[in-house]
Every structure is written in C-alpha cells, then in structure tokens.
C-alpha cells in the first residue's frame, strides 16, 4: 500500500508515474480549471466519439440514408455488445446493446421469473439503484394479476411474488451478506443486485454471491452500471446468468447512450422476452404474422435501435478497450485510496466521514464523503468552486474517479476546494431546498 502525503507535489509525482496519464488527451476538456468528479454519472466526451458522431450524421445518415442498415447498422447491437463483452468477461454472442438499463432489467427479470414460475421470491437489497427496485415492483405487480396491468396500489394486495430487500449492518456502507445468504432459499427465483452500489461504492463478490444463488437453484442478475469500465468483471467465469449495464458512465458513451444486456449462452434459449418485437424475431424481413423468437440473446432486442447514439458510443468505448481493465483498475484503486486518505486527513476534522468501504477490494471507482450539510456543500462546490461531484440523499457527496482522465493533481485540487468551502462557510448561503437534479 502506498504511503500518501498531503502535498500537491506528491499528487504531481503520482501523475508523473501514471502509465495512463496520456489518455486524458483523448478527451475533450474545454475548461482546464474544472475539477470533474462525476464520471460515475456521465463520462467525459472522448474526442473520437465527437468525430464519429459527425461522421455518422454527415456521411452515414446524410448520404447513405436507408442503405446504412445494410452497411453495419443492423448488426451494431451485436458488434458493440461483443466489444463490451471483452470488458466484462463475456465471450461473443452473449452481450447485446439495446434500450435502457431499466428496460433491459424489465425484460431479463421478467424472463427469469417466468422461467421458474413456482418460485416466488426475488432477492435484492436497499443499496440497489431505486429504479431497479421500481422495475421489480412493477414486474411483481404485473405478474400478480395474471399478466393484466394492475392498478398501482391496492393496499398491498400484490400477491404471489415477494421482494426481499437486504439491508445494511453499518450505516449504509456494506450490505449484510449473512442476511443475504440466509434469505436465499428453494423458493428464490432471482437474486438481483448492483455489482458496485451507487451510494457507497461497495462491490459485491460476484463469484461468491452467484454460487450462493445457484446452490439453491436461483438465477442471478447483476446491474453493472457502476462497474463496467471501472472494475474487472468475469461474467462467464463466475457463471453469472444475466447482467445489464449502462454505457454513459465509465464507458463514456454519451448522455442516454444505449445500455447493454448479457444472457449466458447456457440459458439463452430457455428464456423468453416479455416484449416480442420484430428485432427479436427469427426472420424479421419475412414479415410473418406470428412471433417466433430468434435464437440466442437476439430475442431480447425489441425494436429499432438509436443508431446515432449507438455508433457514437461504439467509438467512445475505444479508449477503455485500449487501456485495458487491469491498468484501469490499478489506477482506480490508487485514486480511491488517495481520496480516502485526503478525506481522513483534511475533511474528517471538518465534520465529514467516509461513506465507502476502506478495503479497496470491496470498493468501485467512486467514494462517498458524508456530511450533515452535504447538499449545500455540494451546491457551493458546483456554483462557485468549479468542482462537479454529485449528491445522493441523505448526506452523501459522491466523488467519481475515471482512470482515463482524472489526474491525482485534480483530486488534490478537488479536496482543497471542498476544504475551503467549509473553512470559508461558503455553503451556508444556499437554501436547503434541493434542485431537480442533484
């Protein structure tokens, strides 16, 4: 473990030894003074993505018009899926790029539940991204009424499936694995968790949890949104069943870029998508009147894919593919260790605490720093200190570190500015009332 020092010179020395330092030049940086610590929400724009977007618009959409579908557009969900597969330990033919994370969760979780209709338990945790919990609640609602869409709430009248949400034993930093283990039983159809959780950055041991689920005959679905591109993942080696994830965070695919889904080839032909669209049909251009599912993961495509953002994203993931996950992870650990050190030495005396695991093996590429006035401090950082973190209630300021473009000097500057906000009481002038997007 590196022995850290709080001096700027030390941060600059880490930068001079950083094998990934040159990757920063591959990104558009319009304001060199901006401390951007939100790549865990929206990654910076790679130069190659900007060039590709222009090319797709001018040359492909503009000139090829409909011919584009036969020049690589139609296959793009599979081609780009296989590229992402290289980052998440999935052999070709198991990852496709499509839709949003939320929609993909709906399709895969519904498929998993209807595959084992006699098992009624879904296990997740209170650390999961809330949208994932809402999707599960919606599926439970839908399935409980025999496939008919039920009214939103009938006083808890939802029948059949039960959703168990595992809680934390240490103030929302680490889930209680013993509770999780004992909740998985022979009635469990699905265990679904965020691999790296969005608030504390806690990282599940994928292999271990997958084994626990499989021992009881349950399927496992991982949300990789916060881990893809930041943490090495071995879906095939872990024998994972299903996964989903986004491309706009550490993969730098652009706002609203399409998401991906993974279906292990061992179960692909056993599962049925709940959305029977023509892109998932066996022979879409036969225009037959009855649905026949395509073989493999293709059946989880539904309709026409957003080509401009998909092809832009394909270019955006290039720097990640070039750098490789091992180098990315090594720098990420050094950055989160360094940020934890600065939290302890500078911010703890000012009322902050670390809201993330101290063991880097259990941590993704962001940390949360907690303060009772976290929301107003976050506002002050954005409005007047040119620092962009984000805020997650009740008290977490999240600081995300991307190995491809975050420098150690930038982290040092960011912490220095956080310290100044408190010392100069800059946050006190902001209202406690929150803006729409935090």
Report the residue from 84, 101, 213, 333 that binds ligand PLP according to the rule CB under 6 A. 101
2-11, Cβ contacts within 8 angstroms, sequence gap of 24 or more:
2/334, 2/337, 2/338, 4/337, 4/338, 4/341, 4/342, 6/341, 6/342, 6/345, 6/346, 8/409, 8/412, 11/338, 11/407, 11/408, 11/409, 11/411, 11/412
- Map tokens 């901006």 to a residue: 34
- Applying CB under 6 A, the span of 42-50, 97-105, 262-270, 359-367 interacting with ligand PLP comes to 97-105
Minimum distance from residue 363 beta carbon to ligand PLP (Å)? 15
Q: Which two tokens stand for residue 393?
A: 């209630």
Q: Is 348 helix (H, G, I), strand (E, B) or coil?
A: helix
Q: Does 225 bind ligand PLP (CB under 6 A)?
A: yes
Number of residues this chain uses to bind ligand PLP (CB under 6 A) = 13
Which whole-number Å values give the CA distances from 302 to 81, 100, 103, 253, 261, in the listed order? Answer: 15, 12, 10, 21, 13
Query: Are the C-beta atoms of 69 and 77 separated by less than 8 Å?
Result: no
Q: Interface with ligand PLP by CB under 6 A: which range of 219-227, 277-285, 316-324, 370-378?
A: 219-227
- Smaller CB separation from ligand PLP, 196 or 404: 196
Nearest residue to 83 (alpha-carbon basis) of 247, 197, 302? 247
Give the DSSP letter string of 195-215. SB-TTT-BB--HHHHHHHHHH
Closest approach of ligand PLP to the CB of residue 259, in Å: 5
The stretch near ligand PLP (CB under 6 A) out of 27-35, 75-83, 125-133, 312-320 is: 125-133
Task: Return the number of the residue (233 or 259) whose C-beta is nearest ligand PLP.
Answer: 259
Q: At what angle do helices 130-144 and 101-115 cross, to 10 degrees?
A: 40
Q: Binding of ligand PLP at residue 102 (CB under 6 A)?
A: yes
Residue 417 among the catalytic residues: no
**Assigned token pair, 394:** 């009740």
Of 100 and 239, which CB lies nearer to ligand PLP in the complex structure?
100
Identify whether 426 is a catalytic site residue. Answer: no
Taking CB under 6 A as the binding criterion, the range among 55-63, 67-75, 94-102, 302-310 that sits at the site for ligand PLP is 94-102
Nearest to 97 by CA among 118, 109, 111, 79: 79
Is residue 223 part of the annotated active site? The answer reads yes
Residue 226 binds ligand PLP, judged by CB under 6 A: yes
From the candidates 198, 248, 401, 405, which is the catalytic residue? 248
Among this protein's residues, is 285 annotated catalytic? no
Q: Would you call 338 a catalytic residue per the annotation?
A: no
Single out the segment in contact with ligand PLP by CB under 6 A; choices: 5-13, 96-104, 182-190, 327-335. Answer: 96-104
Tell me if 223 contacts ligand PLP by CB under 6 A.
yes
Q: Active site residue: 391, 398, 408, 426, which one?
A: 398
390 binds ligand PLP (CB under 6 A): no
Neighbouring residues of 25: CB distance < 8 A, sequence distance ≥ 6: none
Euclidean distance between CA atoms 352 and 287, whole angstroms? 61
Task: By CB under 6 A, name the binding residues for ligand PLP.
Answer: 100-102, 129, 131-132, 194, 198, 223, 225-226, 246, 259
Residues annotated as part of the active site = 129, 223, 248-249, 398
């Amino acid at each position: 473990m590196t022995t850290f020092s709080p001096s700027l010179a030390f941060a600059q020395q880490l930068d001079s030894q950083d094998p990934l330092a040159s990757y920063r030049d591959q990104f558009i940086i319009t304001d060199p003074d901006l401390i951007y610590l939100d790549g865990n929400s929206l990654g910076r724009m790679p130069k190659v993505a900007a060039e590709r977007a222009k090319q797709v618009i001018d040359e492909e959409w503009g000139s090829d018009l409909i011919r584009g579908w036969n020049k690589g557009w139609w296959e793009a969900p599979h081609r780009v899926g296989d590229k992402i597969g290289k980052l998440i330990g999935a052999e070709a033919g198991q990852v496709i790029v499509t839709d949003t994370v939320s929609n993909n969760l709906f399709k895969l979780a519904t498929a998993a539940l209807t595959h084992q209709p006699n098992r009624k338990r879904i296990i997740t945790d209170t650390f999961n991204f809330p949208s994932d919990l809402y999707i599960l609640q919606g599926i439970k609602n839908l399935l409980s009424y025999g496939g008919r869409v039920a009214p939103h709430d009938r006083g808890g009248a939802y029948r059949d499936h039960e959703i168990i949400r595992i809680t934390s034993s240490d103030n929302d930093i680490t889930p209680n694995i013993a509770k999780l283990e004992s909740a998985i039983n022979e009635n469990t159809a699905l265990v679904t968790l965020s691999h790296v959780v969005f608030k504390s950055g806690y990282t599940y041991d994928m292999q271990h949890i997958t084994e626990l689920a499989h021992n009881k005959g349950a399927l496992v679905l991982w949300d990789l949104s916060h881990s893809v591109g930041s943490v090495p993942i071995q879906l095939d080696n872990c024998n994972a069943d299903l996964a989903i994830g986004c491309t706009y965070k550490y993969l730098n695919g652009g706002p609203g870029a399409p998401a991906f889904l993974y279906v292990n080839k061992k179960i692909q032909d056993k599962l049925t998508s709940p959305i029977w669209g023509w892109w998932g049909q066996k022979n879409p251009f036969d225009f037959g009147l009855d649905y026949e599912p395509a073989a493999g993961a293709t059946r989880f495509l539904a309709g026409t894919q957003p080509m401009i953002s998909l092809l832009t994203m394909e270019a955006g993931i290039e720097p990640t593919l070039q750098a490789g996950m091992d180098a990315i992870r090594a720098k990420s650990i050094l950055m989160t260790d360094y940020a934890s050190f600065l939290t302890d030495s500078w911010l703890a005396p000012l009322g902050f605490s670390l809201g993330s695991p101290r063991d880097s093996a259990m941590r993704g590429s962001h940390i949360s720093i907690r303060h009772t006035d976290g929301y107003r401090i976050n506002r002050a950082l954005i409005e007047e200190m040119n620092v962009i973190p984000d805020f997650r209630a009740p008290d977490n300021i999240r600081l995300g570190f991307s190995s491809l473009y975050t420098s150690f000097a930038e982290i040092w500057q960011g912490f220095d500015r956080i310290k100044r906000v408190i010392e100069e009481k800059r946050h006190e002038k902001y209202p406690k009332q929150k803006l729409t997007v935090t």
